[in-house]
Structure 1
Amino acid sequence: MTSARAQAAGLGGLKAHLKAGGRLFGSFLNSGSPSVAEMMAAAGYDCLMIDAEHSPIGIETMHAMATAIRSGGAWTLVRVPAMDPVWIKRALDLGVDGIMAPAINSAAEARAFVAACRYPPEGYRGVAVPVIRASAYGVNAADYIREANEALLVIAQIETARGVAEAEAIAATPGIDLCFIGPHDLSASLGHMGQPDHPEAKAAIAQVEGAVRKSECWLGTIPTASRAADRLFAEGYQLVLGSADLAILREAVRAQIERVKPSSRSS
């Protein structure tokens, strides 16, 4: 299976793929395993999201995982733990293709996120181009400095009641490329923990979808019980993260144990 990444490699290839009407099917990575990351990339995922928000993944592990994902042929995305300029700077220096900040709740927060992602004069990202992985440790320094600001996919996660109310302003913020709806946190924010398909959560998601479609932003999310990945793509989403490596492993383990347990009990 050939990933879209292999067909549009290079700095800015991810955004070029989206601008050409391409879709991205990916997965979260929470295990912290470079080997798993490389295998999942090689298997054909278009992109993989290293999740530093809900895992023990640190910057050294993120480095190894980003290297493995590139080796496997997928685009590398990272979700930082918070809209923290220090985390953002360190993640971007690894040469990721896209970055997501959780719980962006206003246009002001969206602007701050964009500024942390961009070199001056458009932002305040620290400059260490001669030594970072993103520029091949300085080998591609000139190209990287010229293209980095526009090449990076900047993803604002909308996952709270406040974020829903501010979705139109967030999506209209210059530099925000994609709005990613988090149905589980959003439903919890609305008082319906564990019910991402609750009618109130669905109404809020539809509100965000309508707001984002008024802008030039792309849409992303995860599937729920009522909306599988293929349906989400059919409804106009450009990025769907179908699962997480640990969830895939858990279900495979459970399935294997269920197959073996009856014979084990009878022996």
Structure 2
Amino acid sequence: MKQHLLNDSLARRLRAGKPVSAAWAQLGSNVSAEIFAEAGFDALIIDMEHGPWDMQNTLAAMQACKGTGCVPFVRVPWNDMVWCKRALDLGAGGVHVPYISTREEAEYAVRCCKYPTAGGVRGIAGSQRAVCYGLDKADYYARADRDIVVMLAIESPEGVANIDAIAAVEGVDGIFIGPSDLSTTMGHLADPSQPDVQAAIRTIEAAAKAHGRFLGTIAPDFEGAKKLYDRGYSLVYFMSDTTSLSVLARGAVQAFKDSYPE
């Protein structure tokens, strides 16, 4: 029996500013994706910008989420019509578009995720996974432009300067703050603790909230994420199948070395 892929409950929660749990899928592994989905994360972000994902293993990761309640998002490699279209045709419930710096780029990103009947440029097909290979076309077409989440990342001083105009674009659901990229483009290599970077982050937060857009970002763990949720963020990526495993592995090895020194 066919199962609708779009889960509007997550979109509604985000647009209402409620907290949503999220994890990074960066290994290119459908197995780790399945572990996160079965663990109960609300959203899984498949990182095609920096992770070793191709279309086939992205599909497998999305299939690993099916039936769990975990909604797959895709961070596409760039603000590009083809990448957005392919991610959505695979069944992504949301798109994270990196490095948005101007209102025009924001408008283009939204158009890439919408069908022409909603003012977009997304191509339509009746055979892809999103429409259950043709078995669910009517439902998907009726819901896609409403239920797919569009989140834009601000990662440059230009993006900060234009944040009010970016956040005002119709069809933008959320604003993601990439702290490492933002700090680096501001002259502080992967160091968002600097006062001017923190000031920029506050500027982004204020504009997103003023325009009713949810806020997203990353945290190293849940303790860090909770501080952000309490500050008004809705989507925080606080676990990763790469860095979380590496921290656990390093701690285990150090415990061994402490117990059995050479």
Structure 1: gaps of 5 or more residues: 1-8
Q: In structure 1, what is the equivalent of residue 190 of structure 2?
A: 194
Give matches, 1:14-25, under 5 Å. 14-25=10-21
Q: In structure 1, what is the equivalent of residue 167 of structure 2?
A: 171
Q: In structure 2, what is the equivalent of residue 135 of structure 1?
A: 131
Q: Distance in 1 between matches of 2:205 and 2:39?
A: 30
What amino acid sits opposite 2:194 in the alignment? H
What value does the CA root-mean-square deviation take over the aligned residues? 1.7
Query: Which stretch has the larger CA shift, 64-73 or 206-215?
Result: 64-73
What amino acid sits opposite 1:98 in the alignment? G
Query: Which is bigger in relative contact order (C-alpha 8 A, separation at least 6)?
Result: 2
Match of 1:37 among 33, 37, 43: 33
Deviation at 1:210, TM superposition (A): 1.1
TM-score (norm 1): 0.91
TM-score (norm 2): 0.93
Matched, 1:124 2:121: yes
Q: Secondary structure of 1:173's match?
A: coil
Q: Distance in 2 between matches of 1:72 and 1:260?
A: 36
Runs of 4+ in 1 over 6 A off after TM superposition: none
Q: How many equivalent pairs are there?
A: 256
Deviation at 1:73, TM superposition (A): 3.0
Matched, 1:241 2:237: yes
Please say if residues 110 and 173 of structure 1, whose CA atoms lie closer than 8 Å, have aligned partners that are also in contact: yes
Deviation at 1:21, TM superposition (A): 4.7
Give matches, 1:19-98, under 5 Å. 19-98=15-94
Q: Deviations over 1:72-93 (max 9, x none)?
A: 4311111000001111110000
Give % identity. 39
Please say if residues 11 and 147 of structure 1, whose CA atoms lie closer than 8 Å, have aligned partners that are also in contact: no
What amino acid sits opposite 2:224 in the alignment? A
Q: Distance in 1 between matches of 2:133 and 2:257?
A: 52
Q: Deviations over 1:150-202 (max 9, x none)?
A: 11000000111110001111110011100000111001111011211111110
Structure 2: gaps of 5 or more residues: none
Matched, 1:215 2:214: no
Query: Which stretch has the larger CA shift, 91-100 or 68-77?
Result: 68-77
